[in-house]
């Protein structure tokens, strides 16, 4: 008797290219349709506001890109809070004076905070910031 070994002429191949294509399409679909949730530490209810025309500010403080100050169009040599506070207190007319800060978009954060601190020391409680519409 002659026993023949079962050898198929065709070898089985598993083509993975269509499987990878289908998996990539499913991955793109899941990435595009998933929602990204941002978890918040605090549940904050933000206030709503309506834009109104600003009242005429009595004091105009401009802060340049390099952090220099100009009060009502006059340059100030203020490297600290004290000279800026002194200039603000001499320029304010009464207790209800308001300050409009015109800070450059590239102005250092420290310069703006220093201006706010100088206004507080000068007794100015109404501080407004000028912005422009996008």
Record the pTM: 0.56
Which pLDDT tens digit goes with each residue over 70-97?
888 888 887 788 889 888 888 887 777 8
Paired tokens of 87: 């200039």
Question: What three-state secondary structure class fits 61?
Answer: strand
Tell me which residues of the chain have a pLDDT lower than 70.
Answer: 1-10, 36-57, 133-134
pLDDT at residue number 41: 47
Q: In percent, how much of the chain has pLDDT > 70?
A: 74
pLDDT at residue number 79: 77
- Cβ contact 110:81 at 8 Å: no
- Cβ contact 92:124 at 8 Å: yes
């Amino acid at each position: 008797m002659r026993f023949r070994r079962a050898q198929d002429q065709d070898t089985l191949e598993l083509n993975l290219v269509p499987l990878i294509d289908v998996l990539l399409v499913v991955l793109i679909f899941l990435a595009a349709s998933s929602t990204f949730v941002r978890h918040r530490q605090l549940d904050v209810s933000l206030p709503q506001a309506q834009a109104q025309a600003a009242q005429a500010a009595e004091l105009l403080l401009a802060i340049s890109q390099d952090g220099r100050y100009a009060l009502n169009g006059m340059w100030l040599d203020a490297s600290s809070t004290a000279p800026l506070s002194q200039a603000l207190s001499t320029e304010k007319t009464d207790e209800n004076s308001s300050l409009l800060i015109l800070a450059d978009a590239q102005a250092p954060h420290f310069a703006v905070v220093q201006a706010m601190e100088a206004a507080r020391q000068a007794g100015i409680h109404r501080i407004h910031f000028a912005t422009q519409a996008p």
